[in-house]
Amino acid sequence: MTDFTLTAQHTEGDLALAHVAGELDMATAPRLRAQALALIEQGHQHLILDLEAVTFCDSSGFNALVGIYRCAKAAEGTLVLAAVPDRLERLLDLTGLSALLPAHPTAAHALVAHTRSQDTSPA
């Protein structure tokens, strides 16, 4: 079985920060998608995925990220990536997905950016 975990560590209001670790492949992508969508369904439609501990991502992992993005958007939310490993970042750039999935250098940066965007949003 492929090593994979998703741990929600910051769930406050409509925001959830989840740390993802291990491999994102055909075996784990359905679990990534299901667990992320569960957070969205629980009312955390703004989702930050910290990918610092992701060691591998294939097309199944990419598809899971796109599916999560679409579900977050359908819920009027967002999907933001943090600490994207270099290899995965290059693939996101090559495929054009980096235009859809904003990324921040760390989860802390993503949290600050989310807070700032909420402060400037119309009430």
Q: In this model, does residue 123 exceed pLDDT 60?
A: no
**pLDDT tens, 3-61?**
999 999 877 889 999 999 999 999 999 999 999 999 999 999 999 999 999 999 999 99
Q: What is the pLDDT of residues 49-58, one digit of tens each?
A: 999 999 999 9
Tell me the pTM: 0.91
24 in helix, strand or coil?
A: strand
Backbone conformation region of residue 102, classed left if phi is above 0, alpha if psi is from -120 to 50, else beta? beta
Number of Cβ atoms within 10 Å of the Cβ of 98: 16
